[in-house]
Structure 1
C-alpha cells in the first residue's frame, strides 16, 4: 500500500512561538569551536522582557539620532565600538540608547564594554544635553565639548532649563571650566531664583550665570565667621560677577568687611545696634556655654511676655535649672555675650512667625525669628535702639526703633531688644547628591 505522510507544517511570519523571543537574531551567526579565541567578543543575548505587572523599569533616556555611519551596525559591532571608545564621545554615546532599545540592560553592556552603569547614564544624558545646545551654541564653543571629560560638564547642566543651559554652557566653554566648576555653576543658577528677598539679591541678575555664581559666594561671605574667609569669598564673588551693579555691590561689601564692618542682616540692621545672627546646625552642642530662655509667641501679646518666668537658677554640679513658675516653651542658645548678659533673670525670647510681620528687618524674609528681649530695660532712652512693644493692644507684638517711639510720645516699651536669632539655613540652594548621580 502507498502511505501518505503529512507534510511538516511551516511557520508563517504570523505564527506565534513561545520561544521565539529567546532565539538568537538571524544576523548573528554562532561562533564555531575553531574561533574560540574570539568567543569573548560575543555579545550577551538581550534579557527576556520582564513579566507583566512588574513595577520597576530601568531608566532609558530619550533616544538621540544615531550618526549615519552607525545606523547599519549589528549589536556585535556596536559593542566593539563602545569597548574600544572609537570616535568622539558624543558620536558613540547614542549607541548606548540603541542597545537599550534592543533589550540590553546596563550590566550586560558593562560586561561587554567595560562601561559601568553610571558611565553609561552620564554619557547618554550628556549626549542628549549636547543635542539641545546644537541650535543655539556657536560652533567654536560647541567644539569645546568634543574633548574627553567634557561629558561630565554637560551632565551637570541637565537640570537647567533651555535658556539657562545655553548660558551656562557658553560660560563653561569660554572659561574652559572643569566638570566640578560646571557643577558649581549649575547649582548656583538653579538656586538663585529661590533666594529672592535675601540680603543683596536685587543687585544680581538671574540672566547672568556669572552673577548667579557670584551671589553664591556673596552669601557664603555672610555665613562664615573668620574675616579672612569673608574677604576670600567676596573676592571670588567679584571675580565671577558680570554685571556692573553686582560688581559695585560686592565691592561695597568688600570695603565694609575690610574696614571691620558687616555681619548684620541687611541695610537697616547695618545701622542699628542689635546683632542679627543665624544659628548653625550643631552650634549649641559645640558651644562652651549655653543660655536657657523662656519663649512666647508674638501672637500671645503683652500677657505672654509678662507671664514668662523671670528668674532662672542653676543648681548643683549637674547644672539643673529651676524656674519660678512652670512654663511650656523654652529655647537653648549658645552663650553669646548679649544673651549671657541677661543673667537669667529678665530675658525672654519672642517667636515671630514665618511672615515676620512687626519686625523691621524681617519684612522680606519668609522665615521665623527669635527676638531676645531684656525686660528690665523698658525705658526708651536710646533712639537708635529697638524695643518690643504691643501691637494693637493685646492682639500681638512688634518691634520699633526708639526714635519712632519718642516721636509718638511713648516712653516705655515691654523691653529692649538685645539680639535677633534666625533659624539654621536648610541650604536648599544645593541639590542633594542623589539629584546629581
Structure 2
C-alpha cells in the first residue's frame, strides 16, 4: 500500500520564464510540497484546503472627456430686464431699445434658454459677429468701470463703442485704461484701435530692436509709434511709403525721446533722397573731363577747371571748385 509523506527538504515556488516568483491574485507565494507515496495503506489524516481571496482589480481609468473651453458666467441682467419674458427680450434686441451695453447681457441669457447664434440672428437680425462684439465689449466696459477709469472716458463709448472696446479685450486692466484714454483723445476708429492693441501687445517682444529703448512702454502712443517706425524700416530706400510711415510714427509718439528718433529718421531720409537725385549734400559737384593725348603738347603747365552747364551757375561753381595745376 502507499502512504503519503511530506517531503520538507525541497520547497518549490511557482515562477515564470524570468525565474521570478509568479504572482497571481488567487495564489500566495508559499512553498509547495510534493507528496511521496509509500506502499502502506493510504489513510489521509488531514484535509488539504486551498483558500483563495479575490483581490479587486484596480478601477479602470475613466473615459477621457473632451476639452471644454472656459466660458465666463454671463453678466447679471440689469434690473429693468429681469422681469421680462423671452418675447420681450427678443423685441428689445430687435429694435435696439436702450444703450448697447445695457441690452448686451440679454444675449447670453437667451443662449441659456436654448437659443444659438444663428437662431438668435434670425429672431433679432443681429449677426453672430456683432453678438460677440456686444457681449465682449460690455465686459470690457465693466472692467474699465471697476478700474476707476475716468467716467468721461467711459461715457465716450456709450454710443457705438462696442467695436472699439472689443479690440482692446486682450490687454491687461492698466493697459485697457491707457488705451481707452488714447483712443478717445485721438478719435480713433476700429482699425486704429486694432493697431494700437496689437502694438501694445507686441512691444515687449521687440526688445533689442533698433531704438527700442527710446520708446516708452507705458505710453500707448509710443507703442503705436514704434509699430509705424518698424514698418518704415521695411522700405530700405527712401520712398513715399517710408515717409508716410515715419510721419504716422511722429504723429502717434507721445514722449520727446520717441519724437526725436522719428524726426531724425525723417530728416536723414530726405537727405538721402536728395543724394539719389544727383546732388551731393555739403559738396560741390565737379564733372571730370578726360583730356586726350596731344591736347596739352608743349604746355609748361596744365590747369584743370570744372565743367558745368551755363544754367547751373558756372561762375560761382568755378570759384568754389578746387583748381589743380
Give TM-score, length-normalised by structure 2: 0.61
Equivalent residue in structure 1 for 2:120, among 109, 128, 134: 109
Indicate the residue corresponding to 1:229 in structure 2.
241
Indicate the residue corresponding to 2:156 in structure 1.
144
CA distance in 1, matches of 2:76, 2:152: 22
CA contact (8 A) 1:214 1:240 kept: yes
Give TM-score, length-normalised by structure 1: 0.46
If asked which structure has higher relative contact order (CA below 8 Å, sep 6+), I would say 1
Indicate the residue corresponding to 1:195 in structure 2.
206
Q: What is the deviation of 1:53? A: 9.1
CA contact (8 A) 1:88 1:146 kept: yes
Equivalent residue in structure 2 for 1:244, among 243, 249, 256: 256
Indicate the residue corresponding to 2:144 in structure 1.
133
Equivalent residue in structure 1 for 2:193, among 179, 182, 187: 182
CA distance in 2, matches of 1:116, 1:234: 38
Count of paired positions = 209
Q: What is the deviation of 1:81? A: 0.5
CA deviation profile, 1:39-83 (whole Å, cap 9, x unmatched)? xxxxxxxxxxxxx99848688554122211111111111111111
**RMSD across aligned C-alpha pairs, in angstroms?**
2.1
Q: What is the deviation of 1:144? A: 0.9
Q: What is the deviation of 1:152? A: 0.7
Q: What is the deviation of 1:252? A: 1.6
Instruction: Could you tell me which runs of 5 or more consecutive residues in structure 2 were left unpaired when the two chains were aligned.
Output: 1-62, 274-325
Higher strand content, 1 or 2: 1
Indicate the residue corresponding to 1:63 in structure 2.
74
CA 1:141–1:103: 2 relative to 1, 3 Å: same
CA distance in 2, matches of 1:58, 1:93: 22
Q: What is the deviation of 1:128? A: 0.6
Instruction: Could you tell me which runs of 5 or more consecutive residues in structure 1 were left unpaired when the two chains were aligned.
Output: 1-51, 262-437
- Greater CA radius of gyration, 1 or 2? 2
Indicate the residue corresponding to 2:32 in structure 1.
none
CA distance in 1, matches of 2:72, 2:166: 12
CA contact (8 A) 2:238 2:272 kept: no
CA deviation profile, 1:165-220 (whole Å, cap 9, x unmatched)? 11101111122211111111111111111101001100001100000000011111
